[in-house]
């Protein structure tokens, strides 16, 4: 497992699809985010703006890996990690900006949590909101309440339980972490086959976390590491398609939790409910946007990294 003082390059996989100028900020901010040398792999899903090629021409540590088409986020991340079997690697969206030292914070936390398969930073929006990136795995009751009420009543108990926004930010295990920025234990990642390529976008991170959790691995939120995520590029370009993909991925995940003939009526209810919500989201911007975030990035000011536990397993 990598540490901030290792001299071996840390592989950073960014999944690109015409990322534009945001990619420049990603690469420039990464330089101050870690003392480790890095190798940046741009797993490119068919960019047409020339940004990945320009970045590779300008930076010797950046290379473009063409995936052969728009194969989706998880499949592209898998391609970017191909050939790497041990150590740590970072998977990220190309519209991130890293705070100074943020990647080293994640690597230091990995040493405190040797059973962590994934570690994720605090993610703030350009507007200063704190994105709820460390959530519980969705359950039937919390998922239904969040989907039905979150857009209209963000503070409802089901959304609060699922997103854990009523807690002050602290380093802790989570059910799953946002795939927009993940430090992964590569050996653990491949032990479950990596991301399921059946998810084009959305819920591939939830699915990965659940499969790793079943094997006893942890997912650790590290709010002393901070990144800013612009987000929404794909949604702005193709809003209806992305809403359809989001609901389809949710249906795939939830249906997989309730297999077998006896659960067929429940899967039918999922299909009907999510299909109806998708149609409503096409015409309602409030529903499409989901629940508003309940915390601001200023809440991170009180966060401190915990002292290492005597057994090296961190605070659980």
| pLDDT at res. 140 | 79
Residues across the chain: 316
The answer on 264 and 200 residing in a single domain is no
| Number of compact structural domains in the chain | 2
Same domain, 90 and 69: yes
Asked whether residue 311 is assigned to any structural domain, the reply reads no
Least confident window among 83-92, 189-198, 218-227, 240-249: 240-249
Task: Report the C-alpha gap between 225 and 314 in whole angstroms.
Answer: 16
214 shares its domain with 245? no
Residue 71 counted as domain residue: yes
How far from 249 is each of 134, 205, 253, 275, 289, CA to CA, in Å? 19, 11, 6, 12, 17
1 inside domain: no
How far, in Å, CA of 310 to CA of 47, rounded? 48
Based on the fold, state whether residues 115 and 256 are members of the same structural domain: no
For residue 258, the SS3 value is coil
Boundary-marking domain end, from 237, 255, 280: 237
Evaluate whether residue 308 is within a structural domain. no
Residues 232 and 90 in one domain: yes
Could you report how far apart the first and last alpha carbons of the chain are, in Å?
20
CATH number of the domain within which 175 lies: 3.90.550.10
pLDDT in tens, 163-191: 998 888 999 999 999 999 999 999 999 99
Residues 151 and 209 in one domain: yes
Question: How do beta strands 116-124 and 96-98 pair?
Answer: unpaired
- For the chain, percent of residues with pLDDT exceeding 90: 67
Residues 6+ apart with CB under 8 A from 85: 186, 187, 190
Query: Is there a domain that residue 280 lies in?
Result: yes
| Domain-located, residue 42 | yes
Helix (H, G, I), strand (E, B) or coil at 157: helix
Q: Which two tokens stand for residue 149?
A: 């009420």
Question: In the listed set 221, 237, 253, which residue is the last one of a domain according to the structure?
Answer: 237
Both 186 and 255 in one domain: the answer is: no
Is residue 185 within 8 Å of residue 117, measured between CB atoms?
A: yes
Predicted pLDDT at 22: 96
Mean pLDDT calculated for residue range 217-233:
91
CA–CA separation, 187 and 88 (whole Å) = 8
Flag the least confident range among 98-102, 235-239, 289-293.
Answer: 235-239
Same domain assignment for residues 257 and 170: no
Model confidence, pTM: 0.90
By CB atoms closer than 10 A (0-12, 13-18, 19+), residue 110 is buried
Residue 298, domain member (yes or no): no
pLDDT value of position 304: 67
245 and 137 in a common domain: no
Mean pLDDT across the chain: 90
The answer as to whether 300 is a domain residue is no
3-state secondary structure of 215: coil
**Within this chain, do residues 60 and 177 fall inside the same structural domain, yes or no?**
yes
Domain residues for the domain of 245 are 238-290
Residues 142 and 14 in one domain: yes
Last residue of a domain, one of 172, 206, 237: 237
Q: Above pLDDT 70, what percent of the chain? A: 91
106 and 195 assigned to the same domain: yes
> Which is higher by pLDDT, 151 or 33?
33
Instruction: Give the pLDDT of residue 308.
Output: 52
């Amino acid at each position: 497992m990598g540490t901030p003082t290792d001299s071996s390059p840390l592989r950073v996989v960014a999944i690109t699809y015409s990322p534009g100028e945001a990619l420049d900020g990603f690469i420039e901010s990464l330089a101050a985010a870690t003392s480790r040398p890095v190798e940046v792999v741009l797993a490119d899903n068919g960019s047409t703006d020339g940004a990945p090629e320009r970045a590779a021409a300008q930076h010797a540590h950046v290379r473009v890996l063409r995936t052969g088409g728009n194969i989706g986020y998880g499949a592209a991340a898998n391609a970017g990690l191909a050939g790497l079997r041990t150590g740590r690697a970072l998977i990220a969206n190309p519209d991130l900006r890293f705070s100074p030292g943020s990647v080293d914070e994640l690597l230091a936390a990995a040493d405190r949590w040797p059973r962590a398969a994934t570690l994720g930073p605090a993610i703030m929006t350009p507007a200063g909101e704190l994105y709820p990136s460390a959530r519980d795995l969705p359950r039937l009751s919390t998922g239904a309440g969040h989907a039905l009420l979150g857009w209209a009543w963000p503070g409802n108990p089901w959304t609060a339980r699922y997103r854990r926004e009523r807690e002050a930010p602290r380093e802790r295990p989570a059910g799953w972490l946002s795939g927009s920025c993940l430090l992964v234990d590569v050996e653990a990642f491949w032990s479950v086959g990596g991301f399921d390529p059946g998810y084009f976008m959305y819920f591939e991170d939830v699915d990965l976390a659940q499969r790793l959790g079943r094997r006893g691995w942890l997912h650790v939120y590290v709010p002393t590491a901070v990144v800013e995520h612009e987000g929404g590029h794909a949604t702005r370009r193709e809003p209806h398609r992305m809403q359809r993909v989001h609901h389809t991925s949710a249906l795939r995940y939830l249906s997989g939790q309730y297999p077998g003939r006896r659960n067929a009526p429940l899967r039918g209810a999922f299909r009907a409910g999510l299909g109806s919500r998708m149609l409503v989201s096409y015409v309602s911007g409030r529903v499409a946007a989901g629940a508003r975030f309940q915390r601001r990035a200023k809440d991170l000011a009180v966060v401190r990294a915990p002292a290492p536990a005597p057994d090296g397993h961190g605070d659980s």
